[in-house]
Amino acid sequence: MAAEPSGSTIFPRTDWEALGQSVEGDATRLDRLIRLYWRPLKVFLASAFPGLKAEEADLLLQDFAEDKLLKAGWLGRADPQRGQFRKFLKSSLRNFVRDRLSRAEVKNAPLSLEGLEEELAGPEAEAGGEEFDLEWARVVLAETLRRMEEDCRDPAANQPHRSQIWELFRLRLLEPLFHNAAQTPYERLVARFGLRSPLEASNMLLSAKRIFKAHLVRVIQEYAEQDAAASEEIRRLEEFLARLAKRS
Amino acid sequence: MADFDSAVALSQSGPEPLAALLAEGGRPAGLWQPEELGAIFRHQMAAPLLADLGAPAGAQGAPCQSFADLLHHPSPPLALLELVKDFAKTNAEHPEDGLPKEIAAVLYYLCIAAALLRLGARISKLPDADLGRGLRWAAEQPWLDEPTRQLLAGALAAVPPAGAPGAAGL
């Protein structure tokens, strides 16, 4: 596998059992899965095991992918009763790395163990968990926006003003949120896009939000099991981000 | 047309914008700034009346071409005021399909105010106290133009306080 995969398409599954069975039989899907989770997992490793060097973290992640993710039966152990899928990934990786580092210590392998003792002596619970979840939220939302933009720019999409809907969403919401740009007034949007009224611009923004929400649900449904789980996952992400935002 | 690279923008983002995107993207609340409501209201007041209401046969050439024409007319047709009031009520109850709720509600109270002040007619079954509260709320909206605010304030003054003698006759 490449050192760090690029791209961010994830596997189209909606339940854990099917996830475990079919992903293992489908190298392309599994490759996509690893690509999506790579960055959050790397962030988690760096935070949970601060003594690891970047190249060591890459190596461990590759081993994790090959020894666990690619291993027949492993994904089938992802049990919805035991918690969220991303928690399962985190705890699996943490255990995997601890095991590897312990063995490396015994064999005096050239792995940095500075962070290991600190980590093993520290609280068991959520070292690196917040960093992972924040990175996870970034990946989910970026993937949602990528799909939304692709959808809106699709010339075959049978909806008037589809590409303008993306532009309006970008100008009204994305640019102000992520680039600190001033929010473009509706009256200027009306002139820019040749709309009939601010109300039409507002309705287009509502459409944009509906499209965003639909893609968000679909992205999450690919790792959460069903509709209810996707709603719960959106709620969890909202609460988590709101809590972090309050603290910062 | 500028590009927005979602992956880059979000990979460098802190939790606040992510939280805001998740919250805003999923919900229409907080959509309108006051000045935007003002822009929509001005647009609505200038909009062709009969086109929005569905023009009845023979309605061309009516004295009131726009909502503003009707609501500020010295002697507006009562039937048209009632029609616009119903239109506003429907929109207020289904804001996802039409006007923002605030605009629809102001339009609703404006029809009642115009009928009351210009024609001495009461086209609402609301009790005085409720009507007074509604007119006061409408008159306090910061995005209203002054003539409209005066119309609402005038009607508010004409509504007897709750329990006053003769209130039921309005």
CA atoms of B51 and B43, how far apart (whole Å) = 14
Q: A33 near A7, Cβ under 8 Å? A: no
Average of per-residue pLDDT across B64-76? 92
Q: Write down the pLDDT at residue B96.
A: 56
3-class SS shares of chain A: helix, strand, coil, % to 5: 75, 0, 25
pLDDT confidence tier of residue B97, bands split at 50, 70 and 90: low
pLDDT confidence tier of residue A42, bands split at 50, 70 and 90: confident
Average of per-residue pLDDT across A205-212? 83
Average of per-residue pLDDT across A189-215? 85
Higher pLDDT: A114 or A60? It is A60
The backbone region for A194, taken as left when phi is positive above 0, alpha when psi lies in -120 to 50, beta otherwise, is left
ipTM over 0.85: no
Model pLDDT for residues B6-15, shown as the tens digit of each residue: 889 998 899 9
Per-residue pLDDT for B74 more than 50?
A: yes
What is the overall mean pLDDT for chain A?
Answer: 74
pTM higher than the cut 0.80: no
Q: Write down the pLDDT at residue A85.
A: 72
Per-residue pLDDT for A224 more than 80?
A: no
Q: Is A69's Cβ below 8 Å from some Cβ in B?
A: no
Q: Determine, for residues A173 and B44 on separate chains, whether the beta-carbon distance falls below 8 Å.
A: no
- Give the closest-approach CA distance of A50 to chain B in angstroms: 20
Q: Determine, for residues B28 and A213 on separate chains, whether the beta-carbon distance falls below 8 Å.
A: no
Domain extent listing, chain A: 16-126, 134-247
Q: Is B26's Cβ below 8 Å from some Cβ in A?
A: yes
Closest CA to A187 of A177, A178, A196, A176: A196
pLDDT confidence tier of residue A120, bands split at 50, 70 and 90: very low
Q: Write down the pLDDT at residue B144.
A: 96
Higher pLDDT: A224 or B126? It is B126
Q: Is B5's Cβ below 8 Å from some Cβ in A?
A: no
- Give the closest-approach CA distance of A38 to chain B in angstroms: 13
> Which of A3-17, A66-80, A102-116, A149-163 shows the lowest mean pLDDT across its residues?
A3-17
Q: B170 near B160, Cβ under 8 Å? A: yes
Q: Is A146's Cβ below 8 Å from some Cβ in B?
A: yes
pLDDT confidence tier of residue B130, bands split at 50, 70 and 90: very high
